[in-house]
Structure 1
Amino acid sequence: MKSLVTSWQVWAFASAGFAALTAIFAKIGVENVNSDFATFIRTLVILFLAGGILWFGGQWQPLASISMRSYLFLMLSGMATGASWLCYFRALQLGDAARVAPVDKLSVVFVAVLGALLLGETLSLLNWLGVLLIAGGAVLVALKA
Structure 2
Amino acid sequence: MTGVLAALGAAMAWTGASALWRSLSGRVTAIRLNALKNGLASLVFLPVLLMLPRDTEAEAVLLLLISGLIGIAAGDSFYLGALRRLGTRRTLTVEASGPVLASIAGVLVMGDSLSSRNWLGAILVSGAVVLIALQAKEASHQQEGEIGTELSSGLMLALVAVICGLSGAFLARHVLISSELTPLQTAAIRLLGGWLGLIPVMKGAWRRSAMTRQEQWKLVVATLIGTNGGILLQQVVLQTMPVGQGVTLMATAPVMALFIGRMEGDPIQLPGAAAAVLALAGVACTSL
Q: TM class, shorter-chain normalised?
A: 0.7 to 0.9
Look up the equivalent residue of 1:79 and give its one-letter code.
L
**35, 48, 51: which one pairs with 1:40?**
35
The answer to whether residue 68 in structure 2 is matched with residue 78 in structure 1 is: yes
**72, 78, 83: which one pairs with 1:87?**
78
Write the mapping of 1:110-121 to structure 2, written as runs, cut at 5 A: 110-121=101-112
Tell me which residue corresponds to 1:50.
Answer: 45
**TM-superposed deviation, 1:12:** 4.8
**TM-superposed deviation, 1:142:** 4.5
The answer to whether residue 103 in structure 2 is matched with residue 100 in structure 1 is: no
Q: Equivalent pairs: percent with the same residue?
A: 22
Q: Distance in 1 between matches of 2:54 and 2:124?
A: 42
Gaps of 5+ in 2: 139-288
Q: Secondary structure at the match of 1:65?
A: coil
Q: Secondary structure at the match of 2:45?
A: helix
Tell me which residue corresponds to 1:22.
Answer: 17
The answer to whether residue 134 in structure 2 is matched with residue 143 in structure 1 is: yes
Look up the equivalent residue of 2:28 and give its one-letter code.
V
The answer to whether residue 126 in structure 2 is matched with residue 131 in structure 1 is: no
> Aligned-residue CA RMSD in angstroms?
2.8
Deviations 1:14-66 (A, max 9, x none): 433322223211111212222211111111121123235x38xxx93224323
Look up the equivalent residue of 2:82 and give its one-letter code.
A
Look up the equivalent residue of 2:30 and give its one-letter code.
S
1:103 and 1:139 in contact (8 A); partners too: no
* Shift in CA distance, 123/51, structure 1 to aligned 2, threshold 3 Å: farther
**TM-superposed deviation, 1:87:** 0.7
TM-score of the superposed pair, with normalisation by structure 1 = 0.73
TM-score of the superposed pair, with normalisation by structure 2 = 0.40
Q: Distance in 2 between matches of 1:50 and 1:119?
A: 33
Higher RCO structure (Cα 8 Å, ≥6 apart)? 2
Look up the equivalent residue of 1:112 and give its one-letter code.
S
* Shift in CA distance, 102/42, structure 1 to aligned 2, threshold 3 Å: same
The answer to whether residue 66 in structure 2 is matched with residue 66 in structure 1 is: no
Look up the equivalent residue of 2:51 and give its one-letter code.
W
Give the stretch that moved more between structures: 78-87 or 103-112. Answer: 103-112
Q: What is the aligned residue count?
A: 135
* Shift in CA distance, 115/29, structure 1 to aligned 2, threshold 3 Å: same
Q: Distance in 2 between matches of 1:143 and 1:119?
A: 33
* Shift in CA distance, 22/112, structure 1 to aligned 2, threshold 3 Å: farther
**TM-superposed deviation, 1:101:** 2.3
Gaps of 5+ in 1: none
**TM-superposed deviation, 1:67:** 5.2
Look up the equivalent residue of 1:66 and give its one-letter code.
E
